[in-house]
Amino acid sequence: MLARERRNRIANLVKSQGSVTIEELTNMFDVSRITIWKDLKLLEEKGFLARVHGGAMRLDKLNPEEKDFTIRRESSSLEKQLIAKYAAENYVKDNEFIFLDGGTTVLEMIPHLINFSNLTILTNGLFTLNTASSYIPDLNVICFGGILRKPSFTFVGPDTEDFITKYNVDTAFVSAFGITLDKGLTDPNSLDMKIKRIMCENARKVIVLIDSEKFGNHSLTTFYEIEEIENFITDSNAPSDFIEILREKDININIVKI
């Protein structure tokens, strides 16, 4: 059996069963554990599964708290809309290049960007791309190709990561699944986490957009530590004790009144 055929069968098996073990795969394909490990590593890089101890799991089984983007967007709150509006009006300038992650809060910035001159947005979010396309040519839009994954509807993987590193932009606007003092900004998927991290590393300024419901939540992977945050936008329902601690760390806090 060709390696490509074996990997396709492994991917389909994980999709149908939800999980597989290395022992199960070595017996099925009569190959070594190291061969299976390499197969799983490659499939993980391409966004087909997540490696876990002793095997692999389907991504949605690994991260049950990650809701489909369309569900999250339907529940988009007034807080998210006002935070996004504030971010656009106060942290964007004419002639800039900006990263927008694929989150629902950052997506709400799009309608507030059309009055800027020669503004270029770069995104890995499919819904962000579709929304921005309605405003071309008022907006210049660059999309990062790669593997499109559900439920986030974001482009991820090595090709996406390599593409982002080619750009040094003015500002990155990122959101998160949650924020805690010990874990920082977290995301339920390691592939999306890597994209957010690279965006932050390739921007002169990073603006974090987090609504009050995200405080105290944490997920699988940290992509930004609390100490790394410089500019933070939230709403007036955010816990005051948490905000005070962030201020003590010399973080520039912007609070939108609800």
What average pLDDT score do residues 191-220 get?
92
Residues 224 and 121 placed together within one structural domain of the fold: yes
pLDDT at 71: 46
Residues 9 and 101 placed together within one structural domain of the fold: no
Residues 86 and 11 placed together within one structural domain of the fold: no
pLDDT at 68: 47
Give the C-alpha separation, 186 to 223, whole Å: 6
Residues 108 and 12 placed together within one structural domain of the fold: no
Pairing relationship of beta strands 154-156 and 221-224 according to DSSP bridges: unpaired
Under DSSP, the state recorded for 226 is G
Gap between the terminal Cα atoms of the chain? 61
Residues 48 and 101 placed together within one structural domain of the fold: no
Buried b (16+ CB within 10 A) or exposed e, 107-127: bbbbbbbeebeebbbbbbbbb
Q: Does residue 151 carry a pLDDT above 80?
A: no
Domain of residue 246, residue span:
69-256
Q: What are phi and psi of 86, to 5 degrees?
A: -60, -45
Structural domain count of the chain: 2
pLDDT at 52: 74
pLDDT at 62: 54
Q: Domain ends where: 23, 40, 62?
A: 62
Residues 137 and 220 placed together within one structural domain of the fold: yes
pLDDT at 250: 94
Alpha-carbon Rg for the chain in angstroms: 20
CATH code where residue 14 lies: 1.10.10.10
pLDDT in tens, 6-20: 999 999 999 888 888
pLDDT in tens, 109-134: 999 999 999 999 999 999 999 999 98
What average pLDDT score do residues 29-42 get?
92
pTM of the shown model:
0.74
| Residue that the structure tokens 């805690």 belong to | 180
Q: Domain ends where: 21, 36, 62?
A: 62
pLDDT in tens, 81-92: 999 999 999 999
Q: Which residue has the higher pLDDT, 19 or 166?
A: 166
Residues 52 and 167 placed together within one structural domain of the fold: no
Q: Domain ends where: 45, 62, 79?
A: 62
Buried b (16+ CB within 10 A) or exposed e, 193-223: bbbbbbbbebbeebbbbbbbebbeebbbbbb
Residues 246 and 227 placed together within one structural domain of the fold: yes
Q: Looking at the chain, how many residues does it have?
A: 258
CATH code where residue 77 lies: 3.40.50.1360
Residues 25 and 84 placed together within one structural domain of the fold: no
Residues 101 and 227 placed together within one structural domain of the fold: yes
Q: Does residue 93 carry a pLDDT above 70?
A: yes
pLDDT at 56: 87
Residues 97 and 20 placed together within one structural domain of the fold: no
Residues 171 and 120 placed together within one structural domain of the fold: yes
